[in-house]
Chain A
Amino acid sequence: MNRPLHDFPGGLRLPGHKHISTSQAILRAVLPKRLYLPLHQHIGEPSETLVAPGDHVLKGQMIAKATDYVGAPVHASSSGTVVDVTLLPVPHASGLDAPTIVIETDGEDRWVDRTPITDYAQLDLSDLRNRIRCAGLVGLGGAAFPSFIKMNPGPHHRVRTLVLNGAECEPYITCDDMLMREQPQAILRGAQIMMHALQADECLVGIEDDKPQAIAAMSAAAAAFGAIEVVPVPTRYPAGGERQLIQVLTGKEVPSDGLPPDIGVVCQNVATAAALQRAIDAGEPLISRVVTVSGGGVRTPRNLEVLIGTPMHELIEQCGGYHNAAQRLVMGGPMMGFSLESDSVPVIKATNCVLSLAADELDVGHATLPCIRCGRCAEVCPASLLPQQLYWHAQAKEFDTVQSYNLFDCIECGLCSYVCPSHIPLVQYYRFAKTEIWAQERNKRKADIARQRTEFRAFRLARDKQERAARHAAKRAALKDAGAGGTRQAAIEAARERAEQKRMEQTAELNAARDAKIAEVKHAIAAQTERQEAAPTSKTVDAVTSSSNRETPDNQ
């Protein structure tokens, strides 16, 4: 079928380096001696451990539970004994240590009792989502956003289209490609369950056209599923960015301040769909994933099916070890991944690729020159930003101006830096500016709350004073009337009534004003919290969160 495709602005065809890791089938990685399972592998708050050193755990057993709505539980990837719960290095851009459960595996790989669902269609939708949630499922495209939230667009959204993201636009990464070649059934079955959960009408699987085998396998399998269509999309980075893929497939743009459900779309990664199928059909939580091990710094690049928690150096060893030229270790792709200081960190749910780059592949040794205003950055920007202007104002710390150039619409795809002939690390400036602005907003929020408290206190004092003054006035009037003879009693009554009434009127007015003020303060605080929480995730490729979701928690 020939679906009319749309275009997204900018973008660039990058050297793919994909073939180096696709010559061999996905291999199940060796069971490691120790598994390192960080409590925080997703967007949202860290999970809370359910085990202590000495506990014996089974494969698939929940060992940490989610603590907030945007969280995900963690499961033991194999059976064994918990030997430690401690701070250890994790693969995170911050480079900080984080709480990690360490399991010594017993080699038996013994499963906990699994409860497959035989007929998901019989299940209440919220039960289905709860299943997905309890399976610890998060987006496997790299952003690790809890999947069940995306499955719940809320009552105000009618999701028509499920977009399945198999574009895999980052160079080197091939885990989705291989998964689509080898397990199209699982992926499509997962997509079908997602469509049911969303009550969506159609599912479009977007795959970049440099993966003919994956397209063939998926198309062949899709014939048996109604309403699922495999759509080859032009290979042009970042076609796999959530917003770009939606634009290519539907021609619609996700509003800058909104989310895909606002235009009736939900986007999920193909690997997430496969994991979801396992969670429902086999009752298996998310304990493993396919990881691409590639780059010029590793001897035999390939894809491995890896237990979450396996240290990365074990993967490298299983791929022939490092090549002499290995220079930098990156988790994720070369455009958006972050570099790791050590290969002892574990594979987490978000690890789609472990990349060991050689010197000749890296952008090193280029002196940074001043911007020559060549405009290449603007030509390639998929968000139609003016990266050069953003850079200019970010380095001048003009944060208001930089926001007026829509800094927060930058998806950090890295293309502008990639093409810049002056080799300016543009994206670093944007990250810096974003972090600064968030910090300022946090401070401002604190200051605002403090200011509002002070204002309210002043207001309360003024109100009390007025009330007191009114009472005094009433008293004085009463005393005055007391000396006036005959109609005195009546006059006193009348005066008291007048004063009382006046006081009541004043109090009512003041109370109304106070209530309004309180509502305003509350609203402002709520709005700020929401913005702050939404901001770091909402613009990340493949991440989606919704403030409306957050207010309608599902099966906590």
Chain B
Amino acid sequence: MFAPETASPHVAQNAGVSRLMLDTLYALIPGIVIYVVYFGWGVVINIVLAITAALTAEAVMLRLRKRPLRPFLLDGSAILTAVLLALALPPLSPWWIPVLGCLLAIVLVKQLYGGLGYNPFNPAMAGYAILLISFPIEMTRWTAPNTLIEQGLGLFESLQFSLYARLPDVVTLDALTAATALDSLKTQVGLGEPVAAVRATSPIFGAAAGTGMELVSLAFLGGGLWLLYRRVIAWHIPAAMLVSLAVMAAIFWGWSPDRYASPLFHVAGGAAILGAFFIATDPVTTSTTVRGRLLFGAGCGLLTYVIRTWGGYPDGVAFAVLLMNMAVPVIDHYTRPRTYGHDTGRGS
């Protein structure tokens, strides 16, 4: 009369994979809105193109690998990868940048390794890194915040640029783009100017970091805290990553404030917040132990600082995460917790 043998536990928490992915997507919304406000419709176009490409790639690969489509398309992981990758791209990109990035991320980095749960590298960041190395010009052509341009692009014009690389007659590409705050600071300081002077002279710098971008970061911070509150993510990785980044920055800033930017600049600038709460916390590619996550986060923060300060790329989050992905097996191995009742120094 009853369903036969069904093993305990008979109850479960209601947080499925798709629930987690959806919550993460919701948490990104405020940041995305502010991003669009400051940097234009290109952001939305990138996101839409990326999601379409990612879902298509996922479906084709699942079919080829003879896996069921429904549960995996609905798990939301491909969409999240797409959105994170789109957020890492310059808002004014040709259409094939997000599309190619997502194809690489889903096919090469995720599905060829076995799909959900099996990929050692963060797909969004790996896709981004390949794009950055292959197409440095398109990938570093950053849009200036709307407050600094005379005439921004509307939705239709942005779409035209994305699809046909066409701009309205009166607008030049140069007028729309500007180096990012991290980038300009690096270049100028490299030329021997003190940090304070650089920040004072260019309108690209806001109160904490880059104009506009710092507000986007703030919104991502809000979303990230909400994720913590909802227990979608644990505090270990974001805290470790931001603290280690801030500590590194503080050490060098304290030593020579003329040559090194402040901790606040580093934490609020670039993709640090997005990375700490949304990227480095990707469950699949981080350590599975609690102590391992602290190490993983700390490593991400440290490497981000190192790459930003001395590396060849303006922002280091993506490479930092990828490098730490590589270290995960080692971290997991050395951070196994002590099992209950083992090595207690038995006294009887």
Q: Which residues of B contact A428 (CB under 8 A)?
A: 7
Chain B CB within 8 A of A136 CB: no
What residue in chain B is nearest A357 (Cβ atoms)?
B10
Q: Is A336 interfacial (CB 8 A cutoff)?
A: yes
Decide yes or no: A406 and B286 within 8 Å by CB, A369-B17, A418-B11, A427-B9 being known contacts. no
* Interface residues on chain B, number (Cβ under 8 Å): 48
Contacts of A369 in B (CB 8 A): 16-17, 71-72, 75, 116-117
B137 to chain A, nearest CB (A): 36
Contact between chains at B8 and A414 (CB < 8 Å): yes
| B201 close to chain A: CB less than 8 A | no
Q: CB within 8 Å of A: which of B1-52?
A: 1-13, 15-17, 19-20
A321 within 8 A of B: no
Which residues of chain B have C-beta atoms less than 8 A from A370's C-beta?
114-118
Q: Are the CB atoms of A409 and B339 closer together than 8 Å? A: yes
A379 to B5, CA, bound (A): 28
CA distance A48 to B137 in the complex (A): 85
Q: How many residues of A contact B (CB 8 A)?
A: 73
- The yes or no answer to B323 lying at the interface (CB within 8 A) is no
Across-interface contacts of B17 in A (CB, < 8 A): 369, 372, 421-422
A157–B118 Cα gap in the complex (Å)?
49
Among the interface residues B1, B75, B338, which one has the most CB atoms of the partner chain A within 10 A? B1
B32 to chain A, nearest CB (A): 24
A422: B residues at CB distance < 8 A: 16-17, 117
The stretch among B58-66, B155-163, B266-274, B287-295 that forms the contact with chain A is B287-295
| B341 touching A253, Cβ below 8 Å | yes
Q: A328-B6, A334-B10 are in contact. Are A379 and B348 (CB under 8 A)?
A: no
Shortest C-beta distance, A374 to chain B (Å), equals: 4
| B15-A421 in contact (CB<8A) | yes
A337 to B336, CA, bound (A): 30
Q: With A341-B2, A370-B116 as known contacts, state yes or no: A264 contacts B348, CB within 8 Å.
A: yes
Alpha-carbon separation in the docked complex, A420 to B347 (Å): 36
- A330 to B339 CA separation, bound complex (whole angstroms): 30
Is A338 a contact of B8 with CB atoms below 8 Å?
yes
Chain A min CB distance to B20 (Å): 6
Complex alpha-carbon distance, A59 and B40, angstroms: 85
B208 close to chain A: CB less than 8 A: no
> Is A44 at the interface (CB under 8 A from chain B)?
no
| Contact flag A378-B290 (CB < 8 Å), given A342-B2, A363-B9, A414-B9 | yes
**B6–A427 CB distance below 8 A:** no
Q: How far is B294's CA from A151's CA once the two chains are assembled, in angstroms?
A: 45
B9 and A334 form a contact (CB under 8 A)? yes
A375 to B5, CA, bound (A): 28
Within 8 Å of chain A (Cβ to Cβ): is B284?
A: yes
| B-chain residues with CB within 8 Å of residue A335 when the two chains form the complex | 8-11
A445–B293 CA distance with the chains assembled, in angstroms: 42
Are the C-beta atoms of B234 and A379 separated by less than 8 Å? yes
Inter-subunit contact B341/A256 (CB<8 Å): yes
Interchain CB contact (< 8 A) of A339 among B3, B234, B283, B348: B3
**Quick one: given A337-B8, A418-B13, A419-B13, are A383 and B340 in contact (CB under 8 Å)?**
yes
Q: Shortest Cβ distance from B271 into chain A, in angstroms?
A: 22
B337 at the interface (CB under 8 A from A): yes
In the complex the two chains form, what is the Cα distance from A253 to B115 in whole Å? 40
Q: A506: CB under 8 A from chain B? A: no
- Tell me the minimal C-beta distance from A216 to chain B in angstroms: 29
B19 touches A421 (CB 8 A): yes
**Assuming the A-B contacts A258-B341, A406-B342, are A336 and B117 also in contact, with contact meaning beta carbons closer than 8 angstroms in the complex?**
no
Complex Cα distance, B75 from A422, in Å, reads 10
Q: Are A171 and B339 in contact (CB under 8 A)?
A: no
Q: Among the listed stretches A31-39, A384-392, A487-495, A522-530, which one makes contact with chain B, having 4 or more residues with CB under 8 Å of it? A: A384-392
Q: Enumerate chain A residues within 8 angstroms of B293, measured Cβ to Cβ.
A: 375
* A479 shortest CB reach to chain B, Å: 66
Chain B CB within 8 A of A340 CB = yes
Residue of B nearest to A17 (CB): B11
* A98 shortest CB reach to chain B, Å: 16
Contact of A336 among B8, B16, B115 (CB under 8 A): B8
Which residues of A sit under 8 angstroms from B4, Cβ to Cβ? 95, 339, 341
B217 → chain A, closest Cβ, in Å? 25
Q: Evaluate contact between B116 and A339: CB separation under 8 angstroms.
A: no
Nearest opposing residue in chain B for A338, CB measure: B8
Known: A339-B5, A341-B5. A384 touches B339 (CB 8 A): yes
Q: Given the known inter-chain contacts A95-B4, A263-B347, A328-B2, please indicate yes or no for A417 contacting B12, CB distance below 8 A.
A: yes
Q: Does the CB pair A328–B9 fall under 8 Å?
A: no
A9 at the interface (CB under 8 A from B): yes
User: Considering the chains assembled together, what is the distance between the CA atoms of A420 and B338 in angstroms?
Assistant: 22
With a cutoff of 8 Å between Cβ atoms, the chain B residues found around residue A330 in the complex are 8, 10
Inter-chain contacts of A329 with B (CB < 8 A): 2
Q: Roughly how many angstroms separate A71 CA and B76 CA in the complex, as a whole number? A: 54
A386–B290 Cα distance when bound, in Å, is: 10
Q: Which residues does chain B contribute within 8 Å of A367, judged by CB atoms?
A: 71
Best-buried of B15, B115, B286 by chain A (most CB within 10 Å): B15
User: Are B341 and A254 in contact, with the CB atoms below 8 A?
Assistant: yes
Given contact pairs A255-B341, A258-B346, A264-B348, A343 touches B7 in the complex (Cβ within 8 A): no
Residues of B near A415 (CB, < 8 A) are: 9
Contact at A406–B337, with CB atoms within 8 Å?
no
Q: Judge whether B344 is part of the interface by a CB distance below 8 angstroms.
A: yes
Q: Please tell me if the beta carbons of B289 and A378 are within 8 angstroms of each other in the complex.
A: yes
Check B337 against A384 for contact (C-beta < 8 Å): yes
Interface residues of B in 71-85 (CB under 8 A from A): 71-72, 75, 77
The smallest beta-carbon distance between A368 and chain B, in angstroms, is 9
1/0 per residue B315-348: CB within 8 Å of A? 0000000000000000000001111111010111
Q: Closest approach, in angstroms, between the C-beta of B70 and any C-beta of chain A?
A: 8
Taking the closest CB of chain B, its distance from the CB of A541, in whole angstroms, is 12
Q: Does A6 contact B (CB under 8 A)?
A: no
Complex interface: chain B residues within 8 A of A252 (CB): 344
Q: Does A53 contact B (CB under 8 A)?
A: no
CB distance from B27 to the nearest CB of A (A): 16
Which residues from chain A contact B287 at a C-beta distance below 8 Å?
375
Q: Mark A2-24, 1 if CB is under 8 A from B, else 0.
A: 00000011000000000000000
Interface flag for A471 (CB, 8 Å): no
What's the Cα separation between A379 and B286 when bound, in Å? 14
Residues of B within 8 A of A157 (CB): 348
CB pair B288–A386 under 8 Å, yes or no, is: yes
Tell whether, in the assembled complex, residue B12 and residue A366 are in contact, meaning their CB atoms are under 8 Å apart: yes
Inter-subunit contact B289/A386 (CB<8 Å): yes
Question: A323 in the interface, Cβ–Cβ < 8 Å?
Answer: no
B303 to chain A, nearest CB (A): 21
* Residues of chain A in range 297-347 having any CB-CB distance to chain B below 8 Å: 327-330, 332, 334-343
A-B contact pairs, 27 of them (CB 8 A): A9-B337, A95-B5, A252-B344, A253-B341, A255-B346, A258-B348, A262-B346, A328-B10, A335-B10, A341-B5, A357-B10, A362-B11, A363-B12, A372-B116, A373-B285, A373-B288, A383-B341, A384-B338, A386-B289, A388-B288, A418-B12, A421-B16, A421-B17, A421-B19, A422-B17, A423-B12, A431-B7
Apart from A255-B342, A418-B9, what are 18 other A-B pairs with CB-CB below 8 Å?
Answer: A243-B340, A256-B340, A258-B346, A328-B2, A328-B10, A330-B8, A339-B7, A340-B2, A366-B16, A370-B115, A370-B117, A372-B283, A374-B284, A375-B293, A384-B340, A406-B339, A415-B9, A425-B7
Report A's interface with B, CB cutoff 8 A.
Answer: 8-9, 95, 156-157, 171, 243, 247, 252-258, 261-264, 327-330, 332, 334-343, 357, 361-363, 366-367, 369-375, 378-379, 382-386, 388-389, 405-406, 409, 412, 414-415, 417-423, 425, 427-428, 431
The 6 closest A-B pairs by CB, nearest first: A414-B9, A363-B12, A256-B341, A374-B283, A370-B117, A384-B337
